[in-house]
Structure formats: C-alpha cells, structure tokens
Amino acid sequence: MEIKHHFGVYGVCLQEGKLLCIEKTRGPYQNRFDLPGGSQELGEGLTETLKREVLEETGYTLSRYLNPRIYDVMVQEEGQDFAVHHIMAFYDIVLDLERPQKSLPHEVLDGSNDSANAIWIPLEQITEENASPLVLKLKAELRGFPELDKNSYMNWKVKKRDNGTI
C-alpha cells in the first residue's frame, strides 16, 4: 500500500465550551466538522499559513496564537489502495473580535475552498460520526488524555450529505 504525506497547520479556538470548526465540503473529511487550517503555500512560515487559512475558512483574523504542538494520524479511505499520513501542527488561537468577521471569500462560495462555513460546536456534540480525526485528536487532548501516538483510521468512510446537516 502506498503512503502519501500531508502536512497542515490548524487553529484551535475554544470559547465557553464550544470549538470553532469548519464544515468540510470535499475530501476524506467532507460533511464532518474539522479545524480551520490547511496546507502551506510556497514560502510561507507556519504562523503565516495559520493566519491565512483561519481568515479564508472562517472570516476571522487572529489577535494571538500560542502553544504549538504536533500530532499525526493515518487515514485510508474505504476502497482506496493508499493511505494518507496526516501530520498536523495545532496552535491555540485567539480571535480578534474587535474586527468584524469578514464574509468568506469567493473561493469558499464557489467551491474551490473545502470549507462551507465556520460553526461553533459544543464539545459534547463532537463524535466519531460527525468529526474529522483532527477534531477527535483535539477532543482527547482537551479531556486531558492527549493521544501522542499516531492513530490509524483504516477503511475510513467518507460521509455523504444527509438532509442538509452534518
């Protein structure tokens, strides 16, 4: 089996027991809650990627970021002959709420971005059925049991949209 590598930078914003998530529109995590973030562009540093991705996917600018950490998961989509080793850098982020949330860019609205919108999800509503492996990794960390070893999700099922909700 072939292993593909993906590295991404993601923001973690928790307020009043709710996690800032995006609704994925495509890829293996489509129709699930995911963290705002993604891949670096050529020449970008990690925090530059973080700021750009959070703005593109949520409309929020950052006032601070701190507490960087690295996790990884292995995901093999059901029926695929390859797996993706997803390496993720997490940063705790503080939103700049003095600035209004911007409308999501055109790329989001026309489908060229993989985020439908930003949504605040109560932690207790996050499950294996509605969340990406990134969000599940974070939920374990928030419970005080960070899973430092790589998790594997073999035969990962890509969710189809059901009656307009995740």
The pTM assigned to this predicted structure is 0.87
Mean per-residue pLDDT over the chain, rounded? 88
Q: Give every CB contact of residue 25 below 8 A, 6+ residues apart in sequence.
A: 31, 111, 113, 114, 115, 116
Q: Domains in the chain, start-ordered, CATH in brackets? A: 2-156 (3.90.79.10)
- Residue 106, SS3 per DSSP: helix
Q: How far apart are CA 141 and CA 121, in angstroms?
A: 16
Q: Measured between alpha carbons, how far is 128 from 91 in angstroms, rounded to an integer?
A: 22
* 72-105 per-position pLDDT tens digit: 999 998 888 999 999 999 999 999 988 877 776 5
- Residue closest to 89 by CA, chosen among 68, 65, 75: 68
